[in-house]
Amino acid sequence: MVKLISLAAIDGMLILWNRKKSRVAFFVSNCLTRNNRHQYADQISMYYPVDKFGKCGEKTVNRHDGYQLLKNNYKYYLAFENGNCRDYVTEKFFINALQNQVIPIVLGPSIDFYKKISPPNSFIHVSQFKNAHALVEYLKYLDRNSTAYQEYFEWNNYGSLVGSKYWCRICNFAQDMPNKIYHDIENWWKQKGDCNNQQSQWDLYVNEFWEDPALQYDYMRPCKGNLTFDYNMWDEIWIPNTCFINSKSAQIHSSPFRNVFLMVFPNGSLWSNWRIKSKGPCDINLRHFPMDSMTCFLTFTSYNYNIREVRMNWNDPLPVQIYKEIELPDFTLMNFSYVTVVKGYAAGDWDELTVSFTFKRRYGWYLLQGYIPTYLTVFISWIPFYLSPSALAARTMISVNALLAMTFQFGNVIRNLPRVNYVKAIDVWFLSGIGFIFMTLLELAVVGFATRNDESASGQMRDSRRKKKVGTRLRHSYFNFRRNQNLS
């Protein structure tokens, strides 16, 4: 179907492009997120103007006025979700951005998930760029090119966003689906892809080289130096049947077709290349959290053939290469290594090629959201030391509020961590802070008890002095009375 776009619509897009400022808006109320969205927004603001609204920003605005600002003044909106979780996209994307004619810059689920739920070519995903500076360069390109900017709004000519009663739709889906019983809902959700699970997802290009004498054709003096085939040829020739034996799941990309490349050389050598998405385990030790590191492994081997039939080796001198600089919100890639081992099984020995990647956690978020606030909370709990002992209510209120604040901060940090049966460094830090605040409460109780005893002793002394004065006056009155009687 072909739909004609009116000149009025094109003029409207041009007016919209010329009227809006080259600025980014960011509406944010939750300051305690683990996907480093605030840090990414700050990196963007180093190269491009960003206006933050809400509890975590410099400006405040109500919802209606905020929508008007987006519609009239801003070209881009940071639709950064609270967590990079599967299936988690909120009104930041649909209402704040798409309904108000701004281009959403999204951070959350994968770009493939956004493509499934959004109009075509309607958003910019941060994963499309190596870093924030590269993203800003693209925004500046859109500022200079009105045609490229308008392409993000062409979906308006073919449809519109329609609000749906999503709770009713969920009920309908629940009625149509077969019943399933989950005894542990949290474990079921983590299996689907939680935000903080101990696994890694890789996008890999795997190259394999082997020789098959049956495919040798150089004796025929061919006119072509090599032959290239697609994935359909895999079922017709012998292949080593390699796999990642420690992966949780693996899938060859098939967009728009199966990403498999096969080349046959005249001497019978073969070269295969396939692009695969694999999820592998990671070794995480949280004892030094958040100054910890993580190591992820992928083990490559032949599933069917042991070393008596197939020997596997890394292809020197560069067996593992990273074609794109990896930039993660929570970790920094420190190094990677590879090793070849022979592993024994009941059916024989197999060559296993293992590559390991070591990541170091970025602790900036925990420094800003955990350590510095606890410093300040402990310092606040020391304020009662400088108040009068008689100001018991004020001293109690400050100490109790500091204890509650520390407990809230502790719970906010650890709720997103795996449940482990050992003590972490951040546990020691927070528990020490709670201990300091508890000691201030204990000191408050001791001072209050001592002050009450001093007041009681002072009151008894005042009563005894008063009684002595009354007794002295009575004696003087009695003596004066007797003396007056004698004189009379």
Report whether pLDDT(284) > 70.
yes
Report whether pLDDT(7) > 50.
no
- Asked which of 101, 133, 160 is the last residue of a domain, the reply is 160
Instruction: Provide, rounded to the nearest whole percent, the portion of the chain with pLDDT above 70.
Output: 82
140 and 17 fall within a common domain: yes
**Amino acid found at 24:** V
Answer whether residue 147 is part of any domain: yes
Answer whether residue 215 is part of any domain: yes
Phi and psi based region of residue 268 (left: phi greater than 0; alpha: psi -120 to 50; beta: remaining)? left
Answer whether residue 481 is part of any domain: no
State the average pLDDT over residues 73-94: 87
374 and 398 fall within a common domain: yes
354 and 376 fall within a common domain: no
200 and 282 fall within a common domain: yes
Q: Compute the distance between CA of residue 295 and CA of residue 483 in angstroms, rounded to an integer.
A: 105
**What value does the mean pLDDT of the chain take?**
81
Instruction: Specify the DSSP element, H or E, that contains 141.
Output: helix 132-144
Answer whether residue 488 is part of any domain: no
Assess contact for 41 and 78: CB atoms under 8 A. yes
Tell me the pairing of strands 21-27 and 74-80. parallel
- Asked which of 362, 382, 401 is the last residue of a domain, the reply is 362
CATH classification of the domain holding 300: 2.70.170.10
Domain extent, residue 440, equals 365-468
pLDDT recorded at residue 486: 61
Report whether pLDDT(379) > 60.
yes
Answer whether residue 166 is part of any domain: no
Report whether pLDDT(139) > 90.
yes
Report whether pLDDT(30) > 90.
no
Report whether pLDDT(391) > 60.
yes
Answer whether residue 377 is part of any domain: yes
Long-range pairs for 191-197 at CB < 8 Å and ≥24 separation?
192/86, 193/85, 193/86, 194/85, 194/86, 195/34, 195/35, 195/83, 195/84, 195/85, 195/416, 196/34, 196/416, 196/417, 196/418
207 and 356 fall within a common domain: yes
Answer whether residue 189 is part of any domain: no
Q: Which of the pair, 106 or 220, is modelled with greater confidence?
A: 106
234 and 247 fall within a common domain: yes
CATH classification of the domain holding 141: 3.40.50.11660
pLDDT band (50, 70, 90) for residue 474: low
Phi and psi based region of residue 127 (left: phi greater than 0; alpha: psi -120 to 50; beta: remaining)? alpha
- pLDDT 10s digits, 182-233: 776 656 665 554 455 566 778 888 899 999 988 888 888 777 778 888 888 8
Q: Mean pLDDT lowest for which of 162-166, 386-390, 391-395? A: 162-166
Instruction: Provide, rounded to the nearest whole percent, the portion of the chain with pLDDT above 90.
Output: 16
Instruction: Specify the DSSP element, H or E, that contains 359.
Output: strand 348-361
331 and 343 fall within a common domain: yes
**Which residue matches tokens 């889906």?**
173
Q: Compute the distance between CA of residue 470 and CA of residue 465 in angstroms, rounded to an integer.
A: 9
- pLDDT 10s digits, 289-307: 889 888 888 898 998 899 9
Q: Compute the distance between CA of residue 301 and CA of residue 310 in angstroms, rounded to an integer.
A: 10
- pLDDT 10s digits, 260-274: 889 999 889 999 998
358 and 371 fall within a common domain: no
Q: Which of the pair, 466 or 113, is modelled with greater confidence?
A: 113
CATH classification of the domain holding 441: 1.20.58.390
317 and 418 fall within a common domain: no
Tell me the pairing of strands 227-229 and 293-302. unpaired
249 and 340 fall within a common domain: yes
22 and 134 fall within a common domain: yes
pTM above 0.95, yes or no: no
Q: Compute the distance between CA of residue 282 and CA of residue 298 in angstroms, rounded to an integer.
A: 9
pLDDT recorded at residue 193: 46
DSSP state of 368: I
DSSP state of 59: B
DSSP state of 389: T
- pLDDT 10s digits, 424-466: 999 999 999 999 999 998 888 888 788 776 655 565 566 666 6
To 5 degrees, how large is the angle CA 416–CA 418–CA 421?
135
**Which residue matches tokens 């299996």?**
191
34, 36, 92, 185, 332 from 108: Cα distances, Å: 11, 11, 11, 22, 19
**Amino acid found at 344:** G
State the average pLDDT over residues 135-157: 90
Report whether pLDDT(2) > 50.
no
27, 58, 97 from 24: Cα distances, Å: 10, 14, 11
- Asked which of 141, 160, 179 is the last residue of a domain, the reply is 160
State the average pLDDT over residues 105-125: 89
Q: Mean pLDDT lowest for which of 112-116, 212-216, 469-473? A: 469-473
395 and 434 fall within a common domain: yes
**Which residue matches tokens 């390699």?**
242
Dihedral sign for Cα 27, 33, 38, 41, please: negative
Answer whether residue 431 is part of any domain: yes
Give the count of domains, the chain: 3
